[in-house]
């Protein structure tokens, strides 16, 4: 036993009062039916989640004005690797240190606007936006029982070299003008590409699979599947995940690679 106490209703309400939409967690996992979508600053709802002095970890949805660089040493991430990728020292910014005690942390930066992706960041470093949530202090890490803790600094702008890495690679649109049922294949391929690129977190593989199946059914040329693989990578899948999902769709439609 570490002697640390799980967050109380008062802890959750303090975060909510500062504008952080909160939700209760079991360790790191949401206790609510819809997960991050249930996060709120509503005091009455928070009281229902923490009734009669109960205590459990607290998470918070990332505010839309911010993004988080999540450094996970368990998957090979490190502050040194992120600094090397930036090519310059990182600015001090609002930070939450993991209770695991291995150097994991969440670095909060101002959201630069537009689409961002972790695909080109070093291994073990992810990006979180308002589609996701983070474990917040004073939550206790489920493995160690030690608390997450703040390192208070004003929220900084993300360094330009890291911002360049966060910007998704441009997917080149097809230029051929062959038609099927009177509709240019280039325009129809672009529709599928945009659907994959815009897929919500947790739906990326499903959307890519659907798009690849649709492309087979509609008689798209091989170039479209190259575009879809790139769109999956832009959306946040790895190259391996994207290629495997397309291969699975092709097999489902009775096609080989």
The one-digit pLDDT tens for each residue of the chain (257 residues) are: 468 999 999 999 999 999 999 999 999 999 998 888 899 999 999 999 999 889 999 999 999 999 999 999 998 999 999 999 999 999 999 999 999 999 999 999 999 998 888 878 898 998 999 988 999 999 999 999 999 999 999 999 999 999 998 986 555 444 444 444 444 556 788 888 888 888 887 889 999 999 999 988 888 888 788 888 888 887 788 777 888 899 888 888 876 54
Residue 133 structure tokens: 């949530």
Find out whether the peptide bond into 224 is cis, omega within 30 degrees of 0: no
What's residue 170's pLDDT? 53
What's residue 142's pLDDT? 92
Strands across the sheet containing 57-61: 29-30, 22-26, 57-61, 133-135
What is the C-alpha separation between 163 and 46, in angstroms, rounded? 35
DSSP designation for 29? E
What's residue 186's pLDDT? 66
Half-sphere exposure of 226 (CA within 13 A, CB side): 7
Residue 118 structure tokens: 């972790």
């Amino acid at each position: 036993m570490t002697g640390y106490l799980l967050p109380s209703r008062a802890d959750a309400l303090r975060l909510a009062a500062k504008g952080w939409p909160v939700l209760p967690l079991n360790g790191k996992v949401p206790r609510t039916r819809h997960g991050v979508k249930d996060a709120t600053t509503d005091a009455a709802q928070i009281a229902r989640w923490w009734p009669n002095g109960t205590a459990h970890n607290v998470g918070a949805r990332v505010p839309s004005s911010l993004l988080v660089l999540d450094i996970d040493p368990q998957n090979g991430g490190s502050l040194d690797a992120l600094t090397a990728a930036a090519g310059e020292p990182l600015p001090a910014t609002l930070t939450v240190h993991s209770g695991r005690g291995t150097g994991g942390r969440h670095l909060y930066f101002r959201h630069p606007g537009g689409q961002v992706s972790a695909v080109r960041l070093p291994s073990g470093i992810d990006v979180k936006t308002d589609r996701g949530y983070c474990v917040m202090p004073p939550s206790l890490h489920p493995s160690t029982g030690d608390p997450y803790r703040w390192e208070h600094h004003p929220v900084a702008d993300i360094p330009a070299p890291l911002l360049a890495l966060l910007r998704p690679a441009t997917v080149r649109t097809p230029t051929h003008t062959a038609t099927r049922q009177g509709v240019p294949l280039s325009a129809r391929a672009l529709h599928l590409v945009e659907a994959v690129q815009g897929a919500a977190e947790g739906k990326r593989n499903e959307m890519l699979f659907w798009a690849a199946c649709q492309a087979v059914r509609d008689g798209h040329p091989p170039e479209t599947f190259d575009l879809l693989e790139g769109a999956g990578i832009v959306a946040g899948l790895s190259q391996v995940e994207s290629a495997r999902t397309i291969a699975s769709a092709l097999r489902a439609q009775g096609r080989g690679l």
